[in-house]
Amino acid sequence: MGWRILDFTQSEVSLGTQRGNLVVKSNTSDHQQLVPFADVDVVLIGLGTGLTSGVLHQLVQYDCVTLFTDWKFVPVGGVYPYVQESTHNRIAARQLAQANASKNTLNALWQQMVRAKIQGQFAVMNQLGFAETSNRLKQLSKNTRPGDPSNCEGQAARFYFSSIAQIDIFQDEGWRRDASRGDWLNNNLNYGYTILRSYAIRSCLSSGLHPALGLFHRNRENLFNLADDLMEPFRPAIDYFLLSHIEELFGTDVRKELVAIAKSKFLSSGLTIPAVLNDLAQDIGMHLEHSKETVRIPSFEPREVVST
């Protein structure tokens, strides 16, 4: 896996290939740059970017994620590597186990996922000084049962985003969490979550899991239900970055920073979000195959973010 994020969302460029390199040619000058495919992790493609199927094929071969963005520079689709070589001989067995997983098993995993997400939200609220909301979230995390029949996740979201709306800078505009509103915070939450989702999709595919077979999400029109499940505990990392730096960031372009945050260290061990997602997907696969008894789902803890 590479390490570089290439953002062409605001560039007039044409992409090509040359001996293991991505060729980036400016459409407005004679400038040309070579980037080794082996160094590339994610490529963001804008409306002014030209490329061929050969470029996409090479990106997939080198385990790169390619995201296509709209005129607002928000990712709306992508191309993902299907599996890594080491998982080829495990795909059938793992996906059969996934498809045949008992309701109790899926409910228990979803309970842990929701608890981890709410614990991360609790940590964000606690760090930002929302004591009452923190206490409510802490209790909701404890109350979450297998399958979350009481919708503790939804209750937590209402308390959480209602508190965010009380931050001084958002009060005058009557802010609320709505992915379609188009304001600065909602747009950047959308962008950060989309980057997280791309890593979750790749983790599902590289571990041999079928991304459409979710633990909780079961939308028949969604090819990536499982990725949407797996990314939930990681959302607070995006939230915390935006909210803890709100005074200096508000109104500015923070897309590059959000890409870095989505790759930042998530655990005290130094593991990054993509690495933790990869481990989590593998652990879930092993658990579904009955070769791993328990799965530990980590929760976000605010710390000084160090990007990679």
The architecture in CATH of the region 4-79 reads: Ribosomal Protein L15; Chain: K; domain 2 (3.100)
Residue 204 · residue 243 · CB < 8 Å: no
Digitized pLDDT (tens) for each residue of the chain, 308 residues in all: 566 778 888 789 999 999 999 999 999 888 899 999 999 888 889 899 999 999 999 999 998 888 888 886 766 788 888 755 544 456 788 999 999 999 999 999 999 999 999 999 999 999 999 999 999 999 999 999 999 999 999 999 999 999 999 999 998 788 999 999 989 999 999 999 999 998 898 888 878 899 999 999 989 889 899 999 999 999 999 999 999 999 889 999 998 899 888 888 888 778 899 999 989 999 999 999 999 999 999 999 887 444 43
**Which pLDDT does position 119 carry in this prediction?**
98
Position 87 scores a pLDDT of 47
| DSSP for the chain, written as a single string | ---EEEEETT--EEEEEETTEEEEEESSSS-EEEEEGGGEEEEEE-TTEE--HHHHHHHHHTT-EEEEE-TTS-EEEEE-----GGGGGGHHHHHHHHHT--HHHHHHHHHHHHHHHHHHHHHHHHHHT-HHHHHHHHHHHHH--TT-TT-HHHHHHHHHHHHHTTSHHHHTTT----TTS--HHHHHHHHHHHHHHHHHHHHHHHTT--TTS-SS---TT-TTHHHHHHTGGGHHHHHHHHHHTHHHHTTS--HHHHHHHTTSB-STT--BHHHHHHHHHHHHHHHHTTS-S---------------
Which residues participate in the annotated binding site for Mn(2+)? Answer: 153, 217, 232
C-alpha–C-alpha distance, residues 208 and 204, integer Å: 6
Fold annotation for 89-288: Four Helix Bundle (Hemerythrin (Met), subunit A) (1.20.120)
Task: Tell me the whole-structure pTM to 2 decimals.
Answer: 0.79
Sequence spans of domains, the chain:
4-79, 89-288
Q: What is the pLDDT of residues 179-188, one digit of tens each?
A: 999 899 999 9
Feature table: binding site = 153, 217, 232
- Residue 172's pLDDT is 78
